[in-house]
Each structure stands twice: as structure tokens, then as C-alpha cells.
């Protein structure tokens, strides 16, 4: 271990715990109030523009993915209060949750069953629109259902889309691109589950498999794409478009909270817990929420103890210049959606003044939480998504944060949202295997 890393471990207690493989909750000391966050990396107009684009595509999506027709082609998930799970967490795990607990069910998003259906699909649509506009085949005023025609599919068929993925991003990009008619290559890391590769191949997607980790798969994809002028690479490490697709969730959640008459203001704080891999999905959602709610929303990222890349990047301020392996952390986790060893520099820098903190959780607990949610609410979510409950294992650190923010006397009016990032596409036999993993006799 180099001396720079040793110094960080000595100076930052959370990093010492992380390096020892322990669960912890780190409060971000670089977080600033809204008026001190400096220049915006993406503007409110850019997020609005992204929302407008998704609205233009909605009639097309409703036609080609009938499962989206119920919401008129809008890719959105339910926000559901989980009272029984809250009670279970408070009674069996002494979580001490005050206020109400909700599950944001991106696990059940249409088309690809994970949070990646937000950013991933958005970026493919944006690319398709750019190409069609440029070729003079489409205008903003036209009905986008036209994109389902054979002529348009043939047009897109001349182009290629590529992406590196641990699984869920590949599913979103692959399914959407193939539907439009693109040639698609998904570069999968060793963590990717077999059923995801099978599903993609069944849709005509080319799946390249690598023995290496996520970052290497991304690198292969980037290289392969750069050699082909007709190819477009979805870059999970740097993409502003992915980020914008996720950020649209902010306004969407606001509408849902209003519909359910859940107040958010300085005396009714909103706590949001987001499972984090490379950072794009949780970063984009958190950014969108901060744009809407400012200082009244408190966003925490959740990571596996063995793949806490955003923690090491953010706590040191080194972002993508450090990886978990530098700290002697393996990078291996059953939470395949979060199995990332090096964080996105782009997201880290955008979010570092806005993030409340980062919490880590052991794999074994992910399965226990999965069973608890199944038992109490009859909802299945995948291991990665279960990380959204991790903060409830650290009531003391949370209390410290609440005190620091002067919220002690209003937590009874708080709303907590565990962001369930994936699960509904997991095949039945896999789900059962998960539900039996690490089960005590």
C-alpha cells in the first residue's frame, strides 16, 4: 500500500473502517448549503430538456413497449409506503426510524426492471433522435411513433451502439437499442449474471464476455467503439446524457410526493437512500432531487463493504484517482449492480457538495433485508437494491447528522425513501436462490 493511501487511512477514521472491511456510515464534511455549492455542472434547463425529450418519445414507447402504455409511455415507478417493513426494521433490527418509510420501486420500472431504465434508455433515445434529426428523417413536431416503421429501423440498423456493463446498464441499452433497430454490442464484466447475457442474446444483442472487472469491460467497449465511425459508445464513467436521464427523477418524485400529500420543507425533511456503483444513477437522481428540494432533501449513497468506490473517492477527494484495491478492499460483492472498484470522476465532482453521506453494508445483510422485505411486503428486489436500507443499521451516526442539521425535533414528520434500484427481471429460479442464500437454519 503506498504511503499516500496509508496517510488517508490514518487521517480519516471512516476509511480505516472501510479498509478493515467494516460497515460504516460516513458523513460528508464537504457538503454545503444550497447557496454555497458553486457553479452548476448541469442546468435546470438541461434537465427540463431531457424531460421534454422523454415526453416526445412517450407515444413511441407506449407503442413498442406495451408495458409502458399504462403511464402513456412514461417510464416511471411506484412510490409505495412500506409500513410493515418499517416496523420490522424498528423491532427486529432496532433501526429507530422516525417518520414514514417508502420504497421507490425502480426495481419494477418497465422495459428493463432497474434504475438503468432511466439513464440508459434516455441516452439511447437522445442518440437516436440526434441521428434522425441530422438525416432529416424526423422533426420535434412529428409523431415519434414513426420511429417504429421498417424504414426507420433500417436507418438505425446502419449504426452501432456499444456499452460496458456489469449487467443492468447492458440490459437497458441493449433492449432499447435493439428495439430501435441499432446493432448493439454489450461488453460484460465477470460479475454479470448469465441470465442477463442470455436475455440480451435472445434480443439479437452481441454480448462480449470478459474475465475482468467492470472498468476493464468499459475500456474494451470504448476501444472497440472508437475504431468504428458508425459506432456510439455509452460511457458510464463520463456521460452527461446518462446523468440527465437519471436527474429527471427529481421532478417526477416531486409529483408523486404531492399526489400522496407528503410534505417536504424545512420542518418536513426528506431522506433518500440510493445504492451506488460507479455513481451515475444515484448521482443523477440525487442531483435532480437537490435541484427540486435544495437543503430539504438529504441524499445518502449506499455501497457494499467490498466495493465502496464512491466512499474512497469522495472521502479522499481523489475520485477516480483511487480504487478500492488501493485500500486493500477486494471489489468483490454479490451485489452485481454495485460491483465497481473505481468511481466516476465526473459524478464525484458534481455531487461532492450535495451529498449528505455514504454508508456501507455487508453482502450477508443484503440477503437478510431481501427476505425481510419479501416477508413483510411481499416485494422482491435484487441484492444490490437491498443496500438502500443500509443506513438504518447506523442510528447513532444518523442521529449525529440530524443534530448537526438541527432536525431533531421534526424527524417524526420526516419521509425516508429507500430507492429499490432493481429486481423485477430476475428469473424466478434465481430469485429463489437469492432468497435462500445465507439463510440460517
Q: Smaller CB distance to ligand PLP: residue 168 or 296? A: 168
Cα–Cα distances in Å, from 259 out to 78, 79, 263, 327? Answer: 12, 10, 10, 45
Report the nearest approach of ligand PLP to the CB of residue 310 (Å).
Answer: 8
Supply the minimum distance, in Å, between the C-beta of residue 299 and ligand PLP.
Answer: 13
Measured CA to CA, the distance from residue 233 to residue 239 in angstroms comes to 10
Residues whose CB is less than 8 angstroms from the CB of residue 158 and which lie 6 or more positions away in sequence, other chains included: 230
Q: What 3-state DSSP class applies to 364? A: helix
Binding of ligand PLP at residue 118 (CB under 6 A)? no
- Among 28, 68, 77, 114, contact with ligand PLP (rule: CB under 6 A): 114
Residue 361 touches ligand PLP, criterion: CB under 6 A: no
Chain Cα centroid distance, residue 191 = 17
Tell me how far apart the alpha carbons of residues 143 and 37 are, in angstroms, rounded to a whole number.
Answer: 40
Instruction: List the interface residues with ligand PLP, window 157-176 (CB under 6 A).
Output: 168
Shortest distance (Å) from residue 400 CB to ligand PLP:
26
Task: Please list the alpha-helical segments (H only) found in 203-344.
Answer: 214-226, 240-247, 249-259, 280-293, 309-316
Binding characters for ligand PLP, 375-394, by CB under 6 A (x = yes): -------x-xx---------
Closest to ligand PLP by CB, 123 vs 156, is: 123
| Cβ neighbours for 224, distance < 8 A, ≥ 6 positions apart | 162, 185, 187, 208, 231
User: 78-95: string of b/e by CB count within 10 Å (b at 16+)?
Assistant: ebeebeebbebbbeebeb
Residue placing its CB nearer to ligand PLP in the complex, 54 or 276: 276
Give min distance, CB of 244 to ligand PLP, in A: 13
The reply to whether 282 sits near ligand PLP by the rule CB under 6 A is yes
Least distance from ligand PLP to the Cβ atom of residue 340, Å? 6
Query: What stretches of 12-64 show up as alpha helix (H) in DSSP?
Result: 13-19, 44-64
Is residue 276 part of the contact set for ligand PLP (CB under 6 A)? yes
Residue 253 makes contact with ligand PLP by CB under 6 A: no
Count of chain residues binding ligand PLP (CB under 6 A): 20
Q: In what order do the strands lie in the sheet with 79-81?
A: 25-27, 357-361, 297-304, 270-275, 415-420, 100-105, 79-81
- Considering only 164, 174, 269, 277, the residue that binds ligand PLP (CB under 6 A) is 277
Q: Is 360 in the site for ligand PLP (CB under 6 A)?
A: no
**Longest C-alpha distance within the chain, in Å?**
64
> Per CB under 6 A, which of residues 318..337 are in contact with ligand PLP?
337
Nearer to ligand PLP, 166 or 183 (CB): 166
CA distance between the termini of the chain: 40
235 versus 291: smaller Cβ distance to ligand PLP: 235
In whole angstroms, what is the distance from residue 112 CA to residue 219 CA?
A: 24
Instruction: Pick from 110, 275, 341, 348 the residue near ligand PLP by CB under 6 A.
Output: 275
How far apart are alpha carbons 309 and 301 in whole angstroms? Answer: 11
Which residue stretch of 8-16, 25-33, 135-143, 269-277 sits at the interface with ligand PLP (rule: CB under 6 A)? 269-277
Q: Which is nearer to ligand PLP, 147 or 274 (CB)?
A: 274
Task: State the Cα–Cα distance between residues 297 and 265, nearest whole angstrom.
Answer: 8
Asked if 283 contacts 242 with a C-beta cutoff of 8 angstroms, the reply is no
Which residues here bind ligand PLP, judged by CB under 6 A? 114-116, 168, 275-282, 337-338, 340, 382, 384-385, 421-422
Amino acid at each position: 500500500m503506498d504511503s499516500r493511501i496509508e496517510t488517508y487511512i490514518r487521517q480519516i477514521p471512516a476509511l480505516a473502517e472501510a479498509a478493515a472491511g467494516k460497515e460504516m456510515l460516513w458523513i460528508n464534511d464537504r457538503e454545503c448549503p444550497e447557496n454555497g455549492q458553486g457553479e452548476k455542472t448541469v442546468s435546470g434547463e438541461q434537465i427540463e430538456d431531457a424531460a421534454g425529450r422523454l415526453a416526445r418519445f412517450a407515444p413511441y414507447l407506449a407503442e413498442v413497449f406495451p408495458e409502458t402504455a399504462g403511464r402513456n409511455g412514461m417510464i416511471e415507478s411506484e412510490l409505495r409506503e412500506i409500513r410493515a417493513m418499517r416496523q420490522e426494521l424498528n423491532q427486529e433490527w432496532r433501526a429507530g426510524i422516525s417518520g414514514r418509510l417508502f420504497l421507490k420501486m425502480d426495481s419494477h420500472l418497465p422495459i428493463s426492471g432497474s434504475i438503468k431504465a432511466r439513464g440508459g434508455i434516455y441516452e439511447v433515445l437522445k442518440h437516436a433522435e440526434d441521428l434522425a434529426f441530422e438525416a432529416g428523417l424526423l422533426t420535434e413536431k412529428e409523431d415519434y411513433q414513426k420511429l417504429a416503421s421498417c424504414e426507420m429501423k433500417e436507418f438505425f440498423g446502419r449504426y452501432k451502439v456499444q456499452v460496458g456493463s456489469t449487467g443492468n446498464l447492458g440490459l437497458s441499452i441493449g433492449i432499447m437499442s435493439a428495439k430501435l433497430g441499432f446493432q448493439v454490442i454489450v461488453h460484460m464484466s465477470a460479475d454479470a449474471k448469465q441470465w442477463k447475457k442470455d436475455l440480451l442474446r435472445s434480443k439479437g444483442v452481441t454480448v462480449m464476455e470478459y474475465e475482468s472487472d467492470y472498468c476493464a469491460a468499459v475500456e474494451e467497449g470504448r476501444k472497440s467503439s472508437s475504431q468504428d465511425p458508425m459506432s456510439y459508445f455509452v460511457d458510464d464513467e463520463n456521460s452527461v446524457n446518462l446523468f440527465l436521464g437519471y436527474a429527471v427523477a427529481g421532478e417526477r418524485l416531486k409529483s408523486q410526493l404531492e399526489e400522496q400529500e407528503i410534505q417536504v420543507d424545512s420542518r418536513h425533511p426528506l431522506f433518500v437512500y440510493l445504492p451506488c456503483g460507479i455513481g451515475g444513477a444515484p448521482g443523477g437522481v440525487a442531483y435532480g432531487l437537490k435541484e427540486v428540494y435544495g437543503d430539504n432533501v438529504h441524499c445518502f449513497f449506499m455501497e457494499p463493504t467490498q466495493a465502496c468506490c464512491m466512499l474512497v473517492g469522495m472521502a479522499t477527494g481523489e475520485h477516480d484517482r483511487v480504487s478500492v484495491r488501493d485500500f486493500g478492499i477486494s471489489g468483490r460483492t454479490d451485489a452485481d449492480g454495485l460491483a465497481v472498484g473505481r468511481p466516476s470522476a465526473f459524478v464525484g465532482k458534481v455531487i461532492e457538495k450535495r451529498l449528505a453521506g455514504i454508508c456501507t453494508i455487508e453482502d450477508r445483510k443484503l440477503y437478510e433485508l431481501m427476505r425481510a422485505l419479501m416477508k413483510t411486503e411481499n416485494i422482491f428486489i435484487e441484492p444490490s437494491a437491498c443496500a438502500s436500507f443500509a443506513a438504518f443499521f447506523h442510528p447513532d451516526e444518523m442521529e449525529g447528522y440530524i443534530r448537526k442539521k438541527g432536525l431533531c425535533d421534526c424527524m417524526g414528520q420526516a419521509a425516508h425513501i429507500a430507492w429499490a434500484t432493481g429486481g423485477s427481471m430476475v428469473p424466478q429460479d434465481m430469485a429463489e436462490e437469492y432468497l435462500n442464500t445465507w439463510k440460517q437454519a
